[in-house]
Structure 1
Amino acid sequence: MKKKKILSLRPSQLAMSLLEVEIKTKEYKKMSPKKLKKTLSEEPVPVVQAPNGDLYLIDNHHKTCALWMAGVKSVYVKVVYRFPKSVSYREFWRRMIKNHWAHPFDTRGNGPVDSLYFPKDIRGIGNDPYRTLAWLCRQHGGYKNSKKTFAEFKWANYFRKKRLLKSSYLTDFRLGLKKALVAARHPDARRLPGYMGKDEI
């Protein structure tokens, strides 16, 4: 387990919830130096090593961004796979997507986006209001936490299709959340990860 500078880690997604990052940032800032150090050592960030040696985040983008916003410059990483140097750039990204290590969709859910448009570090990841709505919905019991990859992005796209937010730049999610909590229990969402249905209200 090695320690790497946060800004040296390449993102494997283009969108996230900035509200979630903001809240996580406040939580990290409240931690004592001792507790923060323990948290960092016990929860390494999973990465894969690209053929050129670059390290790509394959999870914990919100956590990593929040830590950086909280003033943390480096994190422990766990390399889960090292790509052979012989693998081409195109093949690298094909495998990243196939293995669900990359989410090539932008802040409006459009994609797949060409790998050339992925940001160089976590500062370049955009804000997706519907990803925020999906996170808030789970936090308020709309659906269960799921270990399936990109679960909250799937919920975000479900809510996006229903146009539960009036504007992509909406910052007040109270009304949208009320609608999302109802939509999350609807049979239309039964195939989404963490779906609970009306029986579990």
Structure 2
Amino acid sequence: MAKIEESDLRKLHPTQLTVGMIVVKDKQAHLTTLSPKERSEFMRGHAMPAVRGPGGRLYVTDHHHLGRAALDAGLATAFFQIDGDLSDRDSSDFWKQMEKNHWVHPLDENGVRHYCTHIPDQLGGLVDDVYRSIAGYVRDAGGYDKVPEAFAEFVWADFFRRSIPIELVRAEFHEAVAQAIPLAKSHRAKSMPGFNGK
């Protein structure tokens, strides 16, 4: 089991471009209801997997929503555990290895792929993709199962992006979620990660 360590939140670097800000705000609200001791225990219990990169910099590969929520809630530190050490690589080789290991996902809020160098340097630079929030809410409602594969929510976000108009998502978010749940259980989603069809 990897050792859990603590870091300044501003020193944790993302490996994606976007988060669902509705989900971030929900997590932020939850954190603000906890006492300082409870917050620390919660964050330790949800340690972010990270890879050590060039110069010893820490790149988180999951829990970006929680990291951004903690930052927005005013927390100074968060917990992480090292899943890989690529600190001996130069920047170009580092990102190639990150891609090979599926530890990076540089898609923007429109589902368009970018070079890894476009990823923001800090969690505070992540931008909103409202379809990531749809994906999170649908999963929480049992629309599909959480899976260990990295970045499955991006796949679901793109699935919903192709079927639910952005105007509805922005104007009536919960109605969009209500439409997305049966869509996630339909035959159209059979090849999706975590499909449960229940």
> With structure 1 as the length reference, what TM-score do the two structures score?
0.90
Given that 1:28 and 1:70 are in contact with CA atoms closer than 8 Å, whether structure 2 keeps it comes out as yes
Aligned equivalent of 1:41:
44
Give the letter aligned to residue 123 of structure 2.
I
**Superposition misfits of 4+ residues, deviation over 4 angstroms:** none
Alignment of 1:2-151 (within 5 A): 2-85=5-88, 87-111=89-113, 113-151=114-152
1:49 CA displacement: 0.8
Give the letter aligned to residue 9 of structure 1.
L
1:106 CA displacement: 0.7
Whole-angstrom CA distance in 2 between matches of 1:20 and 1:41: 20
Aligned equivalent of 1:178:
178
Given that 1:9 and 1:57 are in contact with CA atoms closer than 8 Å, whether structure 2 keeps it comes out as yes
What is the aligned residue count?
Answer: 195
Give the letter aligned to residue 62 of structure 1.
H
SS at the partner of 2:154?
A: helix
1:90 CA displacement: 1.4
Give CA-to-partner distance per residue, 1:90-144, whole Å, 9 cap, x none. Answer: 1111111111111111111111x11221101011111001111111111222112
RMSD: 1.6
1:39 CA displacement: 2.1
> With structure 2 as the length reference, what TM-score do the two structures score?
0.92
1:15 CA displacement: 0.8
Structure 1 regions of 5+ residues with no counterpart? none
SS at the partner of 1:31?
A: coil
Whole-angstrom CA distance in 2 between matches of 1:171 and 1:27: 24
Whole-angstrom CA distance in 1 between matches of 2:169 and 2:136: 16
Distance 1:129-1:95 versus aligned 2 partners, 3 A rule: same
Whole-angstrom CA distance in 2 between matches of 1:10 and 1:31: 25
Whole-angstrom CA distance in 1 between matches of 2:63 and 2:117: 21
Given that 1:155 and 1:192 are in contact with CA atoms closer than 8 Å, whether structure 2 keeps it comes out as yes
Give the letter aligned to residue 120 of structure 2.
P
Q: Percent identity?
A: 29
Give CA-to-partner distance per residue, 1:52-96, whole Å, 9 cap, x none. Answer: 2211111111111111112211112212211142x2321111111
Given that 1:184 and 1:195 are in contact with CA atoms closer than 8 Å, whether structure 2 keeps it comes out as yes
Given that 2:169 and 2:176 are in contact with CA atoms closer than 8 Å, whether structure 1 keeps it comes out as no
Whole-angstrom CA distance in 1 between matches of 2:10 and 2:100: 25
Give the letter aligned to residue 148 of structure 1.
E
